[in-house]
Chains A and B, each alone.
Chain A
Amino acid sequence: MDNNKVSNRKRIYAKEEVCIGCRLCEVHCVVAHSQYKNDIVKAYKKSPQRPLSRILVEETRPVSFGLQCRHCDDPKCVKACITGAMQQDPDTGIVTNDESRCIGCWTCILACPYGVIKRDFKGRKVASKCDFCIDLGGSPACVKNCPNEALYVDEVRVLNNEESKEKGGTAK
């Protein structure tokens, strides 16, 4: 084996002990993926087809937490995708769905172990999931706007996508 690529992969984690179930993460995710990224009011009132939130909040009081795509080291959705629309960036590890090529077969939903892919019925009927806010420079809107610091980004050093991993970067 001669490829010893090391990359820093980022992942968002939730702290259920301090998640207050307000769902502001969902609000900001919707805004971040709308055409009015800086205007919450317009994003909600003017968007002809308001985007789905890519973060999912699970709640059975008093427990709640947000969950979104883990951008896995071994992305089952990418390997299961029948059209090749689901792709992983080899450097950042971020998994995105090319909605222009997605046909809504839901094989990724079948494969995703976290169940974080949603069915988007507006328009073409495609699979919708977290893209780590790459359009906003990779600073996830949900993490930034959580009022109780219940979401955080952790960096993991990954060696060639394989087994040996060391936690590096800003591990909490």
Chain B
Amino acid sequence: MSYVIIGNSTAAVGAIEGIRKYDSSTPVTVVSDEPYHTYSRPLISYYLGGKVTKENMIYRPLDFYQRNNIRTMLGIKAMSVDYSNKTVLLENGEKLGYSKLLLATGGKPFIPPMGGLDKKNIFNFIKMDDVKAIEKVAVRGSKAVVIGASFSGLKAVEALVKRNVSVTVIDIMSRIMPRVLDDTAAAIAAKTLKDHDVKVLLNNTVETILGEDTAAGVLLKDGTKIDCDFIILAIGVRCNTDLVKDSGIKINRGIVVDEKMQTSIPDVYAAGDVAEGYNFIEEKMMEIAIIPNAYYQGETAGANMTGGNKTFNDGFIMNSMPLLDLPIISAGISEDREGIEVISKFEPEKDTYKKFYISDNRLVGYLLINEVDRAGIYTDMIRNQSDITALKTSLGAEGFGFINFPKDMRKEKMQKGGAA
């Protein structure tokens, strides 16, 4: 008997902790093409920005594998999986046998077609090696173009600003972080960028990357030319299904899993950014590429690999994305839709914005800009789908908390508090 995990990030760690909670003896092997001890991917922008040292990038202590009796094969790529013989072929020719397999291969960058992609100084913004390369060229006074004003791109912008790099960020949509922010919120966020001298070009795309063999500028759709010393591509992420593509396992946009994290192949599980599970707020199957989700899915897969019966079926999108000094927290639905009631509170003097999406007297989404304290209470309302008729008028009020709940609702929450 042995468990094999392909991947070494959040979902893999969740799986390890899920396995070891119930099974301390069965051998577990972790395979990853990155040579690093498990590290937190979101921290790469903080590393680049100088807030976190290389040593503090680790996601679990250095003795994590040893303490949990995990065998690691780092810096070795998995090439293919043989489901009938239950083996994984590694790039060094070795075949790893498994009784249960977890695919936690994460995401890979999405690169749309544009000219000049073969030049030097064009970087992705996904993993440690990306920022290790970027830091060599991102020096004070240099000029950068960041393509993509979503969460990932803006974290890159933030890091570059901290390094005193002059930044221009370009996006095809009409506002930054278009999937999460509305126009009001985006305006507040854009003001923050402007205050830090970041140039934002919207409704635009890059046609071609200019330069000889090193990127030296970009040519936009509308004909504008921008000089730069390097380029960061942060347009999007796709599920990294390369390992098992065309192998017969059910793949949609990601590897499809049920509420137990089982794939269409027996004894094979998937978790994290690569998996496509049930988003119960959107009421459809989709990848939910956020850390909490990756951890929960990993933990669930791990428990079930040991023979357990854990389910995870209340996943939904949630993000805390501080942009420079501006806190931004959102969860659930993030756009106006038919049949969804919207309550919003905007205080321009304080740059505070709060927006709530309500369906059938249940909270299905929210967005908080600047005053993000106690956001988790709203997240919990989404997760529990509790009836919030009594709370609708006080959502987003100053000092909102359990004090606004009707007494019996509050007592139930607080007296049970903490017990699963």
By a beta-carbon cutoff of 8 Å, the part of chain A in contact with chain B is 1-3, 9, 11, 13-14, 16, 56, 58-60, 63-65, 67, 70-74, 76, 79-84, 100-101, 103-107, 109-115, 117-119, 156, 160-163, 165
Selected interface stretch from B17-25, B140-148, B232-240, B260-268: B17-25
Q: A111-B376, A113-B377 are in contact. Are A106 and B418 (CB under 8 A)?
A: no
Instruction: Please report the C-alpha to C-alpha distance between residue A113 and residue B402 in the assembled complex, in whole angstroms.
Output: 11
Minimal beta-carbon separation of A140 from chain B (angstroms): 14
Out of B59, B318, B329, which one reaches A83, CB within 8 Å?
B59
**A165 to B14, alpha carbons, bound, how many Å?**
23
A59:B329 contact, CB within 8 angstroms? no
Q: Which residues of B contact A67 (CB under 8 A)?
A: 401-402, 414
The contact string, 1 if C-beta is below 8 Å from chain A, for chain B 58-70, is 1111000000000
* B374 part of interface (Cβ distance < 8 Å): yes
Which residues does chain A contribute within 8 Å of B307, judged by CB atoms?
1
Chain B proximity of A166: nearest CB distance (Å):
11
Residues on B facing A (Cβ under 8 Å): 14, 21-25, 40, 42-43, 46, 51-52, 56, 58-61, 291-292, 295-296, 299, 306-308, 318-320, 322, 327, 329, 331, 372-377, 379-380, 383, 399, 401-404, 410, 413-415, 417-420
Complex partner residue of B58 from A76, A84, A156, CB under 8 angstroms: A84
Are B419 and A156 interface neighbours, CB within 8 A? yes
CA distance A115 to B98 in the complex (A): 42
Tell me which residues across on chain A come within 8 A of B295, comparing CB atoms. 79-80
Pairwise interchain contact A111-B23, C-beta atoms closer than 8 A: no
Q: B21 contacts which of A76, A83, A161 (Cβ < 8 Å)?
A: A161
Query: Does B21 lie within 8 Å of A114, measured CB to CB?
Result: no
B318: chain A residues within 8 A (beta carbon): 110-111
Q: A106 touching B21 by the CB < 8 A rule?
A: no
A9 and B419 CA atoms in complex are apart in Å by 10
Quick one: which of A79, A81, A84, A119 contacts B373, CB cutoff 8 A?
A119
In the complex, the answer to whether B403 meets A79 with C-beta atoms within 8 Å is: no
Task: Write 21 A-B pairs (CB below 8 A) sorted by A numbering.
Answer: A1-B306, A3-B23, A9-B418, A13-B415, A65-B402, A72-B420, A73-B419, A82-B43, A84-B60, A84-B61, A100-B56, A105-B42, A109-B329, A109-B374, A110-B319, A110-B320, A113-B376, A114-B414, A114-B417, A115-B376, A117-B376
**One of B56, B60, B320, B401 near A115 (C-beta < 8 A):** B401
Contacting residues, chain A, for B404 (C-beta < 8 A): 60
Taking the nearest CB of chain A, how far is it from the CB of B49, in angstroms?
A: 10
Nearest 3 A/B pairs, CB to CB = A70-B418, A115-B374, A113-B380
* Residue pair B379, A111 in contact (C-beta under 8 Å): yes
**B416 to A, closest residue via Cβ:** A70
